[in-house]
């Protein structure tokens, strides 16, 4: 023993050569996953409710494992259910068969309309699938399949997991699964057969029963009854033409005489083809037993009319062509085009020979250059005229993208005031009857940053959309835009306000193009008011223009000045100053400025009683209550002031960039303050002109009362008097208010340089419009088009009243408002919005298609009509709808008639024969018995036959525990599948 123990003491390491194989590692990994997901042991849930597989929530979790270098994905599919109370039940669960075996016999959820294929075939609420990870990999050989199945069996046995475990074999498209479920002393094997061609002996119930019985191999002589559930599915594809109500739009009538231009304000809607391609009728016999029904190769009791349950589903056409969706999509495509208007219409549109002007946008600069020709021949209107002639000359009448009829119709729709000269003269921009501000649909433009639905911009977007779709495409869009720009210049020249725009400054809640048009309208308003003021001041007196000033024109302007003014007006044909954009521009002629020097400009710096006699008050609006000037006791007058300049969002952005670039230095801050105080300086000058002898304190009392602090003090005589002084910020040395007051001169508003140079701003707007490419234009107007499309969808939905569509429309509005508020939204996000609108349009079209097919409008009884409308609504929103009353109900009779008509069309040689409406045909069909005799020929052969056979028998021996057995069969034209779940008692085997 001692000798034997000596060598052992020298052994310090034991090497184990029994290393685990790849197969063992794979099994171990499967066990780890099952343990991680806590799928060990039995967990009984409550009985499955009817329809829970479709209405309930399914979840899944996945992991990845490998067998050598071959990867598999493991996925756990389970139905979410309320946890059952397990207290006090642990002892009872020992001999209970697994939950999945009990589910095999459950009849509440046969043939679920939407579920995983294994749920449909076996009725399971929980299972695990092991499948090849890559799509192109497949387990094809029988030895590999058996190896995987053995691995599953060992893993289930080692872990005690009672959840069924499946392995996917063969190619994925075949959906072939084999699996196993183990419990205490029991096992269920899941097997499958999949063939391309259906063997003749298995096309009916009797043949399938033979397979089921032979597979069970029950040793009992009186075999327990087999429970049978059968479903036949019939497909209807041949819809009658009159069942589809959508008519294609009449393109010729869009600009026809009888329709008129109003058609341009409407968007098309609806699907051009039937959005419902097929109707699937499923006739179900849920509880049959073997002895009460015959179905073999020569005779069948399975009459679809006699089926106790009917359910219907509709198959939707893939991407049906929808008019509104196409309309918006085609307009969106313009956004991706790169060509300019001139490139689309031809580069020679504005080319001229010799010394003629090259572009309308240079008209103003051309006017200001020295020229030997008379001024009236250089007016912008002449240039626009010349441009129009050259467009026609180069393009030719027949080559024009838009013919005159279409163009005139659109222009009259956009500019209704152009119908007569009289209406043009009296036009105002506030003629539109704006809907109330609380109208939610009207205020939708705030969210979309588009334009009000009654505005010119909105109408222009619709017209361009229609032109792009029906009349000339991109060239038509370019042509109409060019005409629109020419119309804008014509209105600017001739003081005609643009219709369809709200008065006031640009609305920053709208798109930039709408703001630009509003800015142009502001310019026209200012220019028009100024020109009218000139005429009034020259002919009568200035009282109408400045109510606070009662002096006559003759006191302000010498007779020579009046003559000079009239002379200037006669030459130009309009006020000369409307053409000037110089920085030193004044409202009156130059001699007024010289006269101003004689009035004593030096008094502007400090003001005082000595200079009052030399100054004449000018530009008074009205007296300011009881306030008087502090130093001379004269009443304080409110002056006529200039209105601040309106701004569009791009101008505001430019201004903020310029101010930001000035930096934070003292010099930059001072310059920034001076730039921002132009309006303050103008008001100070107007105040000085209206109140000669005033001081800064007087101005502050009117302009900023908070900055003038009054206190009660006792004077030398003991009287309580009010003493006022400027606030602390006004006393800061060299503050902007003091500097501006010192530089301000007593000049009334009418003679000041304009804060808002309408001439320059109008030319900037017109130039901006002229250089817009069709792509830029489409980007500007796309929010308006989406806005119009949403309104159209809402309008159509109100007629159908589909609750699911209402929710989607709200989502579209919410989604669009987030995206369209960005200056340059991404194309992908815009496409998503357009796709959502198209989907809603298709849904509404489907609703109308189904209502037409089921004749909801023809129902005479109100109750039947409501039932049909509810049925149609459910068809749209649910995967499968139960037909109340099956074939004997109102909806069932209509469905039956649809199949009858389709069968007659198929069997009859005269396929052109028109069918009577379903209701009339039903009246002529006779009694129920007669219909039963003809019902087999009324339906085509079933497109799919599904059968579920169930029983509970002891296997493999007579004394074994009775366990559930189930076989599912589906037969279609070129597909045959058997999915069996066969349980056996393993206690003594």
Distance, CA of 106 to CA of 110 (rounded, Å) = 8
Distance, CA of 362 to CA of 355 (rounded, Å) = 13
Distance, CA of 886 to CA of 281 (rounded, Å) = 10
Tell me if 872 sits within 8 A of 847, measured CB to CB. yes
- Identify the burial level of 537 via C-beta atoms within 10 angstroms of its C-beta, where 0-12 means exposed, 13-18 middle and 19 or more buried: buried
Report how far apart, in Å, the C-alpha atoms of 782 and of each of 205, 354, 410 are. 61, 41, 19
- pLDDT for residue 77: 95
Q: Please tell me whether residue 206 adopts helix, strand or coil conformation.
A: helix
Helix (H) or strand (E) segment spanning residue 919: helix 918-923
Helix (H) or strand (E) segment spanning residue 828: helix 827-854
The contacts of residue 574 (CB under 8 Å, 6+ apart) are 531
Distance, CA of 440 to CA of 432 (rounded, Å) = 18
Distance, CA of 659 to CA of 597 (rounded, Å) = 34
Distance, CA of 289 to CA of 277 (rounded, Å) = 36
The separation between the first and the last C-alpha atoms of the chain, rounded to the nearest angstrom, is 48
Distance, CA of 628 to CA of 634 (rounded, Å) = 5
Distance, CA of 637 to CA of 617 (rounded, Å) = 10
Report how far apart, in Å, the C-alpha atoms of 438 and of each of 59, 85, 357 are. 45, 54, 50
Residue 524: phi and psi, rounded to 5, are: -65, -40
Q: Tokens 């001169």 sit at which residue?
A: 745
| Local mean pLDDT, 10-residue blocks, the chain (989 residues) | 52 65 91 92 81 89 90 93 54 69 91 92 94 84 92 93 94 93 93 90 90 85 86 84 51 40 70 87 92 85 91 88 90 87 66 43 52 45 50 51 83 82 45 47 80 90 89 87 92 90 88 92 88 68 37 32 34 34 39 39 41 69 84 86 82 78 71 74 90 89 86 72 81 81 87 82 92 90 92 88 86 89 85 92 89 80 83 87 88 89 69 47 47 62 93 88 93 92 88
The candidate with the shortest Cα–Cα distance to 61, out of 71, 70, 73, is: 73
Tell me if 303 sits within 8 A of 936, measured CB to CB. yes
Distance, CA of 536 to CA of 97 (rounded, Å) = 104
Report how far apart, in Å, the C-alpha atoms of 387 and of each of 370, 425, 483, 739 are. 22, 25, 11, 50
The contacts of residue 381 (CB under 8 Å, 6+ apart) are 490, 493, 494
Distance, CA of 737 to CA of 696 (rounded, Å) = 9
Distance, CA of 514 to CA of 495 (rounded, Å) = 19
- Tally Cβ neighbours within 10 Å of residue 164: 28
Distance, CA of 26 to CA of 732 (rounded, Å) = 86
**For 38-41, which contacts have Cβ atoms below 8 Å and span 24 or more sequence positions?**
39/76, 39/128, 39/159, 39/161, 39/163, 40/159, 40/160, 40/161, 41/160, 41/161, 41/162
Q: Tokens 């002096």 sit at which residue?
A: 551
CA angle 968, 973, 974 (to 5 degrees): 85
Distance, CA of 334 to CA of 223 (rounded, Å) = 74
- Tally Cβ neighbours within 10 Å of residue 128: 26
Q: Which two tokens stand for residue 675?
A: 């730039």
Query: How many alpha carbons lie under 13 Å from residue 52 in its C-beta half-sphere?
Result: 17
Q: State how far Cα 813 lies from the chain centre.
A: 6
Distance, CA of 399 to CA of 211 (rounded, Å) = 77
Tell me if 384 sits within 8 A of 770, measured CB to CB. no
The contacts of residue 639 (CB under 8 Å, 6+ apart) are 548, 619, 620, 621, 683, 686, 687, 689, 690, 691, 748, 749
The candidate with the shortest Cα–Cα distance to 612, out of 626, 599, 595, 628, is: 599
Q: Tokens 């006031």 sit at which residue?
A: 504
Q: Tokens 């009046």 sit at which residue?
A: 562
Q: What is the DSSP string of 726-774?
A: E-GGGGSTT-HHHHHHHH-----GGGSPPSS-HHHHHHHHHHHHHT--H
- pLDDT for residue 247: 54
Distance, CA of 600 to CA of 622 (rounded, Å) = 24
Supply the Cα-derived Rg of the chain in whole angstroms: 44
Distance, CA of 948 to CA of 109 (rounded, Å) = 12
Across-strand partners of 978? 193, 969
Give helix then strand counts, H and E, for the chain: 34, 17
| Strands 126-132 vs 165-169: parallel, antiparallel or unpaired | parallel
Report how far apart, in Å, the C-alpha atoms of 162 and of each of 97, 182, 955, 963 are. 9, 5, 19, 15
The contacts of residue 590 (CB under 8 Å, 6+ apart) are none
Q: Please tell me whether residue 479 adopts helix, strand or coil conformation.
A: helix
Q: Tokens 């057969």 sit at which residue?
A: 193
Distance, CA of 800 to CA of 410 (rounded, Å) = 32
Q: State how far Cα 256 lies from the chain centre.
A: 33
């Amino acid at each position: 023993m001692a000798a034997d123990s000596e060598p052992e003491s020298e052994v310090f390491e034991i090497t184990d050569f029994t290393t685990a194989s790849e197969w063992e590692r794979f099994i171990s990994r499967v066990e780890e996953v099952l343990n991680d997901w806590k799928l060990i042991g039995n967990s009984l849930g409550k009985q499955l409710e009817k329809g829970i597989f479709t209405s309930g929530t399914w979840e899944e979790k996945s992991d990845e494992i490998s067998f050598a270098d071959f990867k598999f994905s493991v996925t756990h599919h389970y139905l979410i259910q309320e946890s059952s109370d397990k207290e006090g039940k642990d002892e009872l669960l020992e001999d209970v068969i697994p939950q999945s075996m009990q589910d095999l016999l459950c009849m509440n959820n046969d043939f679920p309309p939407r579920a995983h294929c294994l749920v449909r075939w076996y009725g399971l609420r929980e299972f695990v699938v092991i499948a090849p990870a890559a799509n192109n990999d497949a387990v094809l050989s029988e030895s590999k399949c058996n190896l995987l199945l053995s691995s599953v069996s060992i893993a289930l046995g080692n872990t005690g997991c009672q959840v069924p475990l499946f392995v996917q074999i063969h190619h994925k498209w075949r959906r072939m699964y084999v699996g196993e479920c183990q419990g205490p002393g029991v096992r269920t094997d899941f097997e499958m057969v999949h063939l391309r061609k259906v063997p003749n002996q298995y096309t009916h119930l009797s043949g399938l029963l033979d397979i089921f019985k032979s597979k069970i191999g029950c040793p009992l002589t009186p075999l327990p009854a087999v429970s049978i559930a059968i479903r036949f599915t019939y497909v209807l594809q041949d819809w009658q033409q009159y069942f589809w109500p959508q008519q294609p739009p009449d393109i010729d009538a869009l600009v026809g005489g009888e329709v008129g231009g109003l058609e341009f304000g409407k968007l098309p809607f609806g699907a051009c083809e039937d959005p419902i391609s097929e109707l699937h009728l499923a006739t179900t016999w849920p509880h049959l037993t073997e002895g009460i029904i015959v179905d073999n190769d020569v005779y069948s009791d399975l009459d679809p009319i006699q089926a106790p349950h009917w359910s219907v589903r509709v198959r939707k056409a893939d991407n049906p062509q929808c008019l509104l969706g196409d309309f918006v999509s085609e307009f969106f495509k313009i956004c991706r085009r790169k060509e300019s208007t001139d490139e689309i219409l031809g580069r020679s549109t504005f080319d001229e020979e010799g010394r003629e002007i090259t572009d309308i946008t240079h008209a103003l600069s051309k006017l200001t250059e020295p020229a030997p020709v008379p001024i009236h021949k250089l007016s912008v209107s002449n240039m626009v005229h010349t441009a129009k002639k050259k467009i026609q000359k180069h393009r030719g009448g027949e080559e024009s993208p838009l013919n005159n009829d279409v163009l005139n119709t659109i222009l009259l729709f956009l500019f209704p005031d152009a119908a007569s000269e009289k209406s043009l003269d009296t036009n105002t921009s506030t003629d539109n009857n704006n809907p109330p501000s609380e109208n939610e649909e009207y205020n939708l433009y705030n969210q979309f940053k588009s334009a009000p639905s009654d505005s010119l911009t909105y109408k222009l977007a619709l017209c361009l959309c229609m032109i792009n779709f029906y009349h000339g495409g991109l060239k038509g869009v370019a042509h109409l835009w060019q005409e629109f720009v020419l119309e804008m210049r014509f209105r600017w020249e001739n003081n005609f306000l643009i219709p369809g725009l709200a008065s006031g400054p640009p609305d920053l809640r709208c798109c930039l193009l709408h703001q630009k048009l509003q800015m142009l309208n502001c310019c026209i308003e200012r220019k028009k008011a100024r020109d009218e003021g000139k005429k009034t001041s020259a002919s009568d007196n200035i009282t109408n223009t400045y109510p606070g000033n009662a002096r006559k024109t003759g006191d302000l302007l010498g007779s020579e000045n009046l003559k000079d003014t009239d002379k200037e007006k006669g030459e130009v044909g309009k006020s000369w100053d409307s053409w000037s954009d110089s920085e030193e521009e004044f409202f009156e002629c130059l001699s007024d400025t010289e006269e101003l020097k004689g009035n004593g400009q030096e008094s502007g710096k400090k003001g005082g009683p000595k200079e009052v006699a030399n100054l004449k008050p000018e530009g008074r609006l009205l007296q300011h209550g009881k306030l008087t000037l502090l130093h001379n006791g004269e009443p304080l007058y409110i002056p006529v002031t200039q209105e601040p300049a309106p701004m569009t969002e791009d101008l505001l952005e430019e201004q903020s960039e310029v101010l930001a670039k000035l930096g934070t230095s003292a010099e930059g801050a001072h310059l920034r303050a001076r730039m921002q105080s132009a309006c303050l300086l103008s008001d100070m000058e107007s105040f000085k002109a209206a109140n000669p002898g005033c001081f800064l304190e007087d101005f502050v009392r009117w302009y900023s009362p908070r900055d003038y602090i009054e206190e009660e003090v006792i004077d030398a005589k003991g009287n309580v008097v009010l003493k006022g002084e400027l606030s602390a910020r006004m006393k800061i040395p060299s503050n902007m208010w003091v500097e501006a007051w010192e530089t301000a001169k007593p000049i009334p508003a009418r003679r000041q340089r304009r804060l808002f140079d309408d001439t320059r701003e109008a030319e900037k707007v017109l130039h901006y419009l002229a250089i817009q490419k069709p792509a830029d234009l489409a980007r500007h107007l796309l929010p308006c088009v989406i806005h119009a499309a949403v309104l159209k969808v809402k309008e159509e939905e109100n007629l159908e009243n589909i609750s699911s569509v209402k929710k989607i429309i709200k989502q579209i509005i919410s989604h669009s408002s987030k995206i369209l508020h960005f200056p340059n939204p991404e194309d992908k996000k815009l496409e998503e919005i357009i796709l959502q609108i198209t989907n809603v349009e298709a849904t509404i079209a489907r609703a109308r298609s189904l209502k037409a097919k089921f004749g909801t409008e023809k129902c005479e009884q109100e109750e039947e009509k409501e039932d049909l409308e509810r049925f149609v609504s459910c068809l749209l929103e649910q995967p499968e709808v139960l037909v109340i009353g099956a074939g004997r109900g109102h909806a069932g009779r209509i469905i039956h008639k649809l199949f009858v008509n389709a069968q007659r069309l198929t069997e009859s040689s005269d396929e052109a024969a028109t069918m009577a409406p379903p209701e009339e045909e039903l009246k002529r069909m006779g009694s129920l018995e007669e219909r039963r005799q003809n019902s087999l020929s009324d339906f085509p052969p079933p497109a799919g036959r599904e059968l579920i056979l169930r029983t509970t028998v002891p296997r493999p021996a007579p004394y074994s525990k009775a366990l559930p057995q189930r076989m599912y069969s589906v037969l279609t034209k070129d597909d045959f599948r058997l999915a069996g779940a066969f349980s056996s008692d393993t206690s003594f085997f």
